[in-house]
Amino acid sequence: MKKETKVREMLESFINGLEKEKLEDITNAALIGNELLGLELSVEFNGACRDGVLSYQISGHLHFIRPNQNDKRSYEIGKHLSKYSSRELAFMALYLWNEGRSALYEGERIEARELLKREFDYSN
């Protein structure tokens, strides 16, 4: 299977499990899934803003996405992350990106670190 097809299939399954439509939520959840849950979605992340991390590859794929559950593991990871709000996804992704230095205020960094520790037993 071509790498591009595998990435799209994983992304389709992940988004179906995630049940979110906003690009920011999808991109933030993908970074969290990669970093903490072993998603292994081979996409590049290109930076960060107040809404979270950016990925031109993910935004490029969204035009071609059709919901499916072909990749059960990706679907389950998306499902696991679906319970978090947009704010929580952004805070956690930004903290994982560069400890939130690019876009979070000090109180938000503390909140993100505590959320990651509580939800994922994360410590850096």
Domain around 14:
3-120
* pLDDT of 26: 96
Count CB neighbours of 61 within 10 A: 18
- 10-34 residue pLDDT tens: 999 999 999 999 999 999 999 999 9
How many C-beta atoms surround the C-beta of residue 6 within 10 A? 13
The alpha carbon dihedral of 17, 122, 6, 61 has a sign of positive
pLDDT for 1: 58
d(CA 37, CA 4) in angstroms, rounded, equals: 21
Task: Give the pTM.
Answer: 0.92
How many domains in the chain? 1
Spans in the chain with pLDDT lower than 70: 1, 3
Q: What is the pLDDT of residue 77?
A: 97
CA 18 to CA 25: how far, in whole Å?
A: 9
